Chain A
């Protein structure tokens, strides 16, 4: 039965819907799909093991953690916050849009791993964005702070995805070219890459517009209540100090 391996997809959907821990759900789905395809346990184990180790590059980002951890221990996050607070022209929307543009251009040059969630968003972009948002004259509350962080992460994703396959022959373009070549259609990489350009431009303008709206919402939520600048500094520092404990996430469903 050639439909049976789809049970693996079903296992994923059910597991995620029931909010089980994703790692065992994914491994279980692999086993289900293997069994449904009529493979033996030994074959399935080898298949899982091989697929896993051949994707090891996906764990390289953990190498950024020691350096960033040491810098955070010496107050990197605190310093970013203090510094941005002193720069007048640097608003939340400007920081995010400039980052989006840089990220897209770097990705277009094939430099996708130069920036990223671990490399740049956690140590630099998110603290900068939070601090810029607090220039409205009122500290961010917990929900707003989370929104600003999530939007920073989203900006990195959009910039990366919609820069990646423009101009330079890289992963995506070579995959497309290789696929067509297997099926008897020969294409030049540049031909493929150029046609991703309209989408890249659209992605920039759509996300930049959403950034402006988001920044406006955060700013408007902060007007009305007035805090003296000195008090704001003290409060925001306080909140940052308490952050790791109060905001400890619980991903386990």
Chain B
């Protein structure tokens, strides 16, 4: 059965390959960085199983690994990595034309097929895909299918897959790691009670008798906390337990379904403002080779701000009416 764990192993293999290429180029810091990350990706399941069995040592070692990555990150300077010369690329482009699209489109297409029909691929009661996180497993499978197709179409050697992948990976550098690190921080914040403290703070500064003030405090609180945490999912339980439930639902009689739904998308507006949402706002800066870390946020914050006003208005006019 294909599981998400197999996808993590693939990632670990690819990272180890990238480390090997960096080692050959005597880029020691990069090699060390990808190697540590490969170990964390490959050994993640073991860490989680050990924790479940009350053995803290593997998790502590993983923590040391994360700190090592943090120390290595500032050393991940971008050096020149060989790229095929432009004239050769242009010549290939003229020759291969639309055939180049095929493999690129296979990534979304195969992912889509697995997401829609993966559950029905059963032979003698044996499921090809593990139902948990099937879309992501499908994404990993799609990437492999696309790689094989790309090698076939371009007649490149299989090693080109790792060499070119490593070129893009080194372009990303530490930015590739930031989403994971932030998600880990979210876990730590939750465990250390940062959430409850923020909620108490919000309640101290607003006039709780006013429904408008409570709506605004809840909405802006969702945005602020999402901006800090980089994730509306982390903000939702904190703000709804601290402000939404006691003040809006219990005190002012708001409809919980509407409040929860619009509250969450109000948090999403905050995701558009914050470098903490690294996978959406910082990773593309590196992927698209933009000069300034905040370029993507600059392009989207106005959409977020206008939508925030719309959401606050929707919340105020809908939650007390239904």
Residues of A participating in the B interface, judged by any CB pair closer than 8 Å = 2-3, 5-6, 8-9, 12-13, 16, 21-24, 26-30, 33-34, 36-37, 39, 42, 44-79, 82-83, 110-115, 117-124, 126, 146-147, 149-154, 156-158, 160-162, 164-165, 171-173, 175-176, 179-180, 183, 185, 187, 191-196, 198-200, 202-203, 206-207, 210, 237, 240-245, 247-253
Contacts and interface: CB of A to CB of B under 8 A. Distances in A.
A56 to B, nearest CB: 5
Most buried by B among A5, A53, A54: A53
Nearest to B96: A74
B191 A47 contact: yes
B151 interface: yes
B290 A53 contact: no
B63 A44 contact: yes
Interface in B65-115: 65-67, 69-71, 73-74, 77-78, 80, 83-84, 86-87, 89-94, 96-98, 100-101, 103-104, 107-108, 111-112, 115
Report the 6 A-B pairs with minimum CB-CB distance, sorted nearest first. Answer: A69-B164, A75-B93, A51-B187, A49-B62, A45-B63, A241-B86
**Interface extent on B, as a size class?**
35 or more
Contacts of A180: 256, 260
Contacts of B163: 69
A210 B281 CA distance: 18
Given A150-B296, A150-B298, A244-B83, 10 more contacts: A37-B192, A52-B62, A53-B45, A58-B179, A60-B7, A69-B163, A79-B98, A121-B287, A157-B271, A247-B291
Given A49-B47, A66-B147, A199-B311, A161 B288 contact: no
B126 to A, nearest CB: 25
Most buried by A among B59, B73, B144, B291: B59
Given A150-B288, A158-B300, A63 B67 contact: no
A48 B73 contact: no
Interface string B4-23: 10011011001100000000
B233 A111 contact: no
A195 B258 contact: yes
Most buried by A among B84, B89, B156: B89
Q: Is the interface of A mostly helix, strand, loop or mixed?
A: helix
A248 B103 contact: no
Interface stretch (B117-125, B132-140, B208-216): B132-140
Nearest to B233: A175
A153 B70 contact: no
A161 B307 CA distance: 12
Nearest to B193: A5
